[in-house]
């Protein structure tokens, strides 16, 4: 069937889409931060089979406007501070459409998308303080970046030919190290790489939730003495729980003394290297063997966009490279096949053009623009912490790290649980929770360039109001 998409029709529908985007982005402040998908809408999604015949673009867009756009995750809103999710940069939104229009595979080849990604890799390499000989790759996010990095660590540090033999014959002989505050993706990666969670060592933290580096060294020594081979340490530049930054320089020293792979999870906190205040962390980060940095967190690139950097480019390539005859024949930099393919440096073969949204977002904001947004978010988090300190019903539970603030209502764990869910369902502001030292706490992570002090004030007022209603029993039945 010939395409119905004439030039005029592409423009007509395209402008409708642009109208929807503009409406969504500009109306969002006046919409609830979050409202759950109504049952009947959800049921319709779950029960409607694939259409036998096509519908018109207008019908499809109208369904988008009625059943999809009104029920967002929430992270476009100025009072969304849940998990680590930013609003999208507008250039990133446009870039996604343009990337889809070109629809290349970024496995490799001699087309422009590859050079865009190469440029982005070079920018991030410099941001992280890695040498120009290092390699990197855009990934779906921090989890895939971590898996990729630890796969290279496994390839390099086990002393086995893992590609040929796997880990056969070597059960429980290896160990990985992260603090109790390390992200769950580290353990997931260790499990997926075949080591088992029994090879994860959880290192304790100090009062500010930074890895206890002396304890790390002891754990490495104990493992060595027991005949276990330490493979990699993952330290954090910005933990998810509290935004804590480990003493990366000290961890780097320990890793180099023990010949262990040094990975830094900078998925969230990485962009803070742009601020002079974090120069010490930047120096430690620059010593890593590998690092994860998520443009889809504090760089405002629409999801999905993660990045992994690996200092030893050849090790990365020999971890993943497998080039069957049907993929390509040998290339040259100026020919059809171009530079070594990205698919030789990671697991994916066909890869999307995610570099374009990173590239356009960075070009539009500039590093200075990103630095200013990060600085504003950190200042806003400190303001939030001050407001908590000044509010008698609330307690600041941890020192604010980067742009994370953990606090609670003084009414106890059950009250805080009820309060959080009511707050989320109120549509007024959106926080999430975590556990610190076994205690349930409310957590705000401000990676949001739309948030203002007024938004913080309003969230505090709502939290105090819901807390009072719950305390006095006037909160009403739970929805």
Catalog residues that contact ligand PLP under the rule CB under 6 A: 83-84, 141-143, 183, 185, 238, 240, 265, 267-268, 294, 306
Min. distance of Cβ 179 from ligand PLP in angstroms? 11
Q: CB of residue 40 vs ligand PLP: minimum separation in angstroms?
A: 31
Is the Cβ–Cβ distance between 193 and 203 less than 8 Å? no
Closest CA to 457 of 386, 373, 401: 386
Q: What is the smallest separation between the CB atom of 434 and ligand PLP, expressed in angstroms?
A: 11
The answer to whether the beta carbons of residues 150 and 176 sit under 8 Å apart is: yes
SS (H, E, C) 93-121: HHHHHHHHHHCCCCCCCCCHHHHHHHHHH
Q: Which is nearer to ligand PLP, 217 or 265 (CB)?
A: 265
| Beta carbon nearer to ligand PLP, 240 or 448 | 240
CB of 139 to ligand PLP, least distance (A): 8
Closer to ligand PLP by CB, 217 or 449: give it.
449
Give the C-alpha distances (Å, rounded to integers) separating 231 from 69, 234, 235, 306.
Answer: 46, 10, 13, 23
CB of 448 to ligand PLP, least distance (A): 14
- Minimum separation from the CB atom of position 445 to ligand PLP (A): 8
**Least CB distance from residue 147 to ligand PLP, whole Å?**
9
The smaller minimum CB distance to ligand PLP, of residues 173 and 183, is found at: 183
Nearest residue (CB) to ligand PLP, 267 versus 441? 267
16: exposed, middle or buried (Cβ count in 10 Å: 0-12, 13-18, 19+): middle
| 244-to-42, 179, 205, 268, 431 alpha-carbon distances in Å | 38, 11, 10, 11, 19
Name the residue nearer to ligand PLP (CB basis): 72 or 340: 72
Nearer to ligand PLP, 184 or 332 (CB): 184
* Rounded (10°) angle between helices 355-389 and 112-128: 30
Describe the strand order of the beta sheet including 174-179 as a list of residue ranges.
135-139, 306-310, 290-293, 261-265, 229-236, 174-179, 200-203
- Pair of tokens at residue 179: 């603090």
Residue 167 burial (CB count, 10 A): 18
Q: How far is the CB of 195 from ligand PLP (least distance, A)?
A: 19
Locus of tokens 């029709």: 9
Backbone angles phi, psi at 381, to 5 degrees: -65, -40
**What are the tokens at 160?**
């086995």
To ligand PLP, the closest distance from the beta carbon of 471 in angstroms equals 32
Residue positions counted in the chain: 479
Q: Give the shortest CB-111-to-ligand PLP separation in angstroms.
A: 27
Q: Which is nearer to ligand PLP, 83 or 345 (CB)?
A: 83
**Which CB atom, from 75 or from 105, has the smaller least distance to ligand PLP?**
75
Q: Alpha-carbon distance 146 to 143, whole Å? A: 5
Q: Which is nearer to ligand PLP, 294 or 344 (CB)?
A: 294
Which C-beta is closer to ligand PLP: that of 262 or that of 341? Answer: 262
Q: Which is nearer to ligand PLP, 185 or 313 (CB)?
A: 185
Q: Name the minimum Å distance from CB 143 to ligand PLP.
A: 3
Q: How far is the CB of 67 from ligand PLP (least distance, A)?
A: 26
């Amino acid at each position: 069937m010939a395409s119905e998409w004439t030039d005029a029709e592409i423009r007509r529908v395209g402008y409708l889409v642009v109208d929807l985007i503009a409406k969504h982005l500009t109306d969002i402040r006046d919409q609830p931060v979050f409202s759950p998908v109504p049952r009947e809408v959800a049921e319709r999604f779950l029960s409607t089979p694939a259409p036998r015949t096509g519908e018109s673009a207008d019908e499809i867009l109208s369904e988008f406007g009625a059943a999809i756009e009104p029920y967002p995750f929430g992270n476009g809103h100025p009072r969304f501070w849940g998990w680590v999710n930013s609003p999208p940069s507008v250039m990133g939104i446009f870039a996604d459409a343009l990337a889809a229009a070109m629809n290349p595979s970024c496995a490799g080849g001699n087309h422009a998308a590859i050079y865009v990604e190469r440029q982005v890799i070079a920018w991030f390499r410099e941001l992280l303080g890695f040498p120009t000989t290092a390699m990197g790759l855009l990934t779906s996010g921090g989890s895939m970046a971590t898996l990729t990095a630890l796969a290279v660590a496994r390839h390099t540090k086990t002393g086995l030919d893992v590609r040929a033999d796997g880990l056969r014959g070597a059960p429980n002989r290896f160990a990985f190290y992260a603090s109790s505050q390390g992200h769950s993706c580290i353990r997931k990666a260790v499990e997926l790489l075949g080591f088992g969670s029994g090879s994860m060592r959880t290192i304790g933290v100090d009062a500010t939730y930074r890895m206890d580096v002396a304890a790390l060294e002891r754990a490495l020594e104990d493992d060595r003495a027991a005949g276990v081979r330490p493979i990699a340490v993952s330290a954090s530049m910005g933990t998810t729980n509290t935004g804590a930054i480990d003493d990366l320089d000290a961890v780097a020293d320990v890793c180099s003394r023990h010949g262990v792979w040094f990975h830094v999870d900078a998925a969230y906190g990485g962009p803070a290297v742009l601020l002079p205040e974090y120069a010490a962390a930047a120096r430690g980060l620059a010593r890593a063997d590998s690092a994860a940095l998520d443009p889809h967190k504090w760089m405002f690139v629409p999801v999905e966009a993660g990045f992994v950097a690996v200092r030893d480019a050849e090790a990365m390539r020999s971890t993943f490279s497998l080039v069957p005859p049907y993929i390509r024949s040998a290339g040259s930099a100026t020919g059809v096949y171009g530079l070594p393919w990205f698919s030789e440096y990671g697991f994916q073969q066909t890869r999307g053009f995610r570099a374009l949204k990173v590239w356009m977002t960075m070009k539009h904001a500039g590093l200075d623009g990103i630095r200013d947004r990060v600085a504003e978010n950190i200042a806003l988090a400190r303001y939030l912490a001050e407001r908590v300190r000044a509010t008698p019903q609330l307690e600041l539970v941890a020192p604010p790290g980067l742009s994370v603030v953990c606090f609670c209502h003084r009414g106890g764990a059950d009250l805080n649980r009820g309060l959080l869910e009511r707050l989320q369902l109120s549509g007024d502001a959106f926080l999430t929770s975590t556990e610190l030292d076994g205690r349930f706490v409310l957590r705000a992570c401000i990676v949001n360039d739309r948030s203002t002090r007024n938004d913080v004030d309003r969230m505090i007022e709502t939290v105090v109001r819901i807390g009072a209603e719950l305390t006095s029993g006037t909160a009403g039945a739970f929805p």
